[in-house]
A = this chain, B = another copy of it.
Amino acid sequence: MALRLPLGFRAGAVRAGIKPSGKPDLALLASGLPASWAYAATQNRAAAPSVHRGRRLYAGGGLLRAVVVNAGNANCATGSRGVLDDERMARAAALRLGLPVEEVLTASTGVIGVPLPVERIEEALPRLDLTPFADAFAEAILTTDLRVKTAEAQVGGARIVGVAKGSGMIHPRMATMLAFLVTDAALPQEALRAGFGRVVDRTFNQVTVDGDTSTNDLAVLLANGAHGEVPLSAFWEALEEVARELARMIARDGEGATKLMVVRVLGAATEEEARWAARAVAASPLWKSALYGNDPNWGRILAALGNSGARFDPLKTRIVLQGILLYDGEALPFDREAASQAMRGEEVEVLVDLRQGEAQGEAFGCDLTEGYVRINALYTT
């Protein structure tokens, strides 16, 4: 099922020989019109050259025309050679598209500490075909992901399409995976940059798979204006919807995961605290293990809330698991077998009411399984 890009965008992918599997691993996204853009990247201090270069471009304030992505090699901790290789990748993409190199953003994902085989990228880019569809791009950027992650929305006749990857080394400190969001709505650079952080904070930054924040991750939004202007508040709402759907997909596809966990926190003192609390539950290895075993062990949820940094009183808090009230200031009697049964399935909802205020937040996680350990014990990824 082909996913058409918004007006004026084209994308494609090719096999460059970076992934050991031999699958497509080099992807290119281009806009016919110069696009205003917003950008969020990892806060990891071991950030890769592609992240440093992206920050420089972003600070420069210019418009963007293309993003080139390789999957299979993070080009991180590769010394000064890594910086040159990243620039060479940008230049090869600029050459392919006939653009100035400052209009091309780079992104890399994969193993850390191995030199990037940049000649293969230079050799492959001329072979890369661009189409009006997102599918080949979405497939090529995956690494340990099992599923393609795309989402779309309409707003005032304009369209938003989002593509993401992410499965391990996923933990909120900004945008902890790769996400590419494109729209043909017309939005000035300034408005775009002002609103993007809030969307990222509410969606991508609320995903956690394993508590490890990657060195390479970024979320970028390109608006090329091909469709024209749209109501701004409706745009942000639609964008958040797309970002949330991608965030859910990343969590569901967490390494080794058998199910998606959605944590909703109500009644927090502030929205930030609601997010902290939700994230703490989604990140707790003990609760994630219980989730895997369909064990309604709510004490672990309570312990995670107690460490979240959010204002919290165990005597006021309510915990509802899959619609079953388990805790209301104290342990309630409940049918353990029925609660366990309710935890089976592809998605489990934890609802927490902190009763400290009016703010809400959510987080997206997954269960912790033997599969996660096996994937990460036995393969250098």
The interface of chain A, by Cβ under 8 A from chain B, is 43-47, 74, 76-81, 111-115, 168-169, 173, 210-215, 283-286, 289-290, 292-293, 295, 297-300, 302-307, 312-315, 327, 329-331, 368-370, 372-380
Contact = CB atoms under 8 A, between A and B. Distances in A.
A174 to B, nearest CB: 11
Nearest to A298: B113
Contacts of A314: 45-46, 77
Contacts of A46: 302-303, 305-306, 312, 314
User: What number of copies of this chain does the assembly contain?
Assistant: 2
A287 B302 CA distance: 27
A114 B327 CA distance: 11
Contacts of A305: 45-46
Contacts of A283: 211
- Lowest 5 A-B CB distances belong to which pairs? A112-B299, A293-B377, A46-B306, A79-B330, A289-B376
A77 B300 CA distance: 11
A251 to B, nearest CB: 15
B215 A290 contact: no
Given A290-B376, A298-B113, A44 B331 contact: no
Contact of A373 (B330, B373, B376): B373
